[in-house]
Structure 1
Amino acid sequence: MTPSTRALVLSLALAATLAGCNRDRPAEPAGPAPAPGAAVTPAAAAPMAYESKTPYAEVSLKLPAAIKTQPDLHAALYARSVADLRAFTEGAQADRSEAGGDAGLGPYAKSIDIVPGAETGKLFSLVRTDYENTGGAHPNSAYRSVLWDKALKREITAADLFAKGANLSSLDAALCAAVNVEKRKRDPGAQTVALTGGGDWTCPRAATTPFVLAQGATPGKAGGLVFLIGPYLVGLYAEGAYEVTVPQSAFRSLLAPAYADEFGGAPKA
């Protein structure tokens, strides 16, 4: 056998050996590994609920049936919410360990409840309410919202919904007025809140306040936006949360052209 032939035979033998080894090796992942603690769920099979109980925390998630129509959003929102609940459980355990034990306290609690807002031909909206009890004077709740472009299959924000460079000061003023109307319904003597200036509270800005679509009187159209304001933001904790509606007539001229036709008519009561 010539040296060149011997080298060829050795190379083929080595290749066969490596191929055999690779057959026994687990396949490499097709994409980047998921973040630690993330729930990896195919869009078509995302669960509708999640629950976990430990000596440190009891957590739960509920999703609405309406989300089944948007499987990509369903999978992403489930994964994100479960990751938040797992982080809360880990934090509860750390808090108890640092405090030197439970000291007779029950487990912390956190629930995420997601319900649908209005929907149009292009847009789908959801309200997420986070309720937490960590043993303080009272439990706390906070709002988040989701606005989903059904065709693009992605979440959009106020920056997408409104025209680029739009001056939202008129919407801020309309939101502030709506807050004060609601405050006076609850308490005729309630302190008026303003966008700036004195007082214990100020009105929130529209661009940084969670909102969902308001059901409209015109079929297929949103009649406005429902802004979600948690306790303590515009009044005492005893006043609770506020959900105030601003009609689309107050901001229609500010909408991005791609979404202007999704709004029309008055919001339903």
Structure 2
Amino acid sequence: MHLRTSLLVLAVVLGGCSSPDEMDDALGEANAAGAVATQSASNAQGKSGAVVIAEETDLYSFEYAYPAQAAALAPLGAELARRQKDAKARLTSEAQTDQQGAQEGGFPYRKHSFAETWKVVADLPDFLSLTGEFSTYSGGAHGNHGMTSLVWAKKAAAAISGSDMFISPARLGSAVGDRFCTALDRQRAQKRGPEAMADGMSSFTNCPAMTELTIIPGSQGGTAFDRVGFYAGPYVAGPYAEGSYEVTLPVDAAMLAAVKPEYRSAFEVQR
């Protein structure tokens, strides 16, 4: 089948786009512009500023973006570009397989999609903490969405996840204690109503394990990681209709003790 390909935006280089709000604005402006470019997506990274890639075909819709701070660090920019290529390759393969099955089965093909936007959580002297917010659709009743964590160690030029900065999920869970579960239940009650929580009417009443969550190191003071986000995607802490949950807790002495020794100097108790 011949695919009509329209490259809406291959690259938008926007100097100074660094905050989540600025990145959202950049994405909106880029998609609204509908510019047609002739260079390939592999050459989408600019010399400075945010990078936005968007491609629309009869087979799939693909979007990928990362902010100026990430693009400015060449090894990190290369890592995100590699992840972009891998994501597009998976999307293409799965969409082609689904399209072939639809043709053979004689039913309509539903276009697949993938979108991921990386945003800065904290930019510290030695570390850059990012979140990757993604959404996918593969032809089912509804799509899915979630969030990943990437912490870039600037001196080592290496990517780690937020959870990798702690000794173990069990150790982090013990350090957090009931603080996470209490805050999560408060959010659940707001969505479901206190009666549903009290009566155990929901099938999602347990507190998720740390291994089920995305751990996101953040900073209020701007000099060290002094707070941590705990993200629970759809189906982790509630049904799909409730969406995702995110709890942010200040770093205290117990949480600091759960950080791996090699990363402990990057954390501090929130004042």
Question: Is 1:146 matched up with 2:160?
Answer: no
Distance 1:219 1:158 in 2: 17
Question: Is 1:120 matched up with 2:127?
Answer: no
Q: Counterpart of 2:217?
A: 213
Contact 1:119 1:213 in 2 (8 A): no
Q: Counterpart of 1:96?
A: 99
Q: Counterpart of 1:182?
A: 187
Q: Counterpart of 2:28?
A: none
Contact 2:163 2:214 in 1 (8 A): no
1:191 to 175, 197, 205: 197
Contact 1:209 1:227 in 2 (8 A): yes
Change (3 A) 1:84 1:116: same
Contact 1:225 1:248 in 2 (8 A): yes
Q: Secondary structure at the match of 2:268?
A: coil
Identity among equivalent pairs (%): 24
In the TM superposition, residue 66 of structure 1 has moved relative to its aligned partner by 2.2
Change (3 A) 1:118 1:165: closer
Contact 2:226 2:269 in 1 (8 A): yes
Contact 1:56 1:107 in 2 (8 A): yes
Aligned residue pairs, count: 225
Q: Counterpart of 1:133?
A: 137
Q: Counterpart of 2:34?
A: none
In the TM superposition, residue 240 of structure 1 has moved relative to its aligned partner by 1.0
Q: Counterpart of 1:55?
A: 58
Contact 1:147 1:156 in 2 (8 A): yes
Q: Secondary structure at the match of 2:266?
A: coil
Q: Point out where structure 1 has 5 or more consecutive residues left out of the alignment.
A: 1-37
Cα RMSD, aligned residues only: 3.3
Query: Which structure: larger Rg?
Result: 1
Contact 2:131 2:150 in 1 (8 A): yes
In the TM superposition, residue 149 of structure 1 has moved relative to its aligned partner by 1.1
- If the length of structure 2 is used for normalisation, what is the TM-score? 0.70
Contact 1:110 1:133 in 2 (8 A): yes
Distance 2:129 2:145 in 1: 20
- If the length of structure 1 is used for normalisation, what is the TM-score? 0.71
2:257 to 253, 257, 261: 253
Question: Is 1:75 matched up with 2:78?
Answer: yes
Q: Secondary structure at the match of 1:85?
A: helix
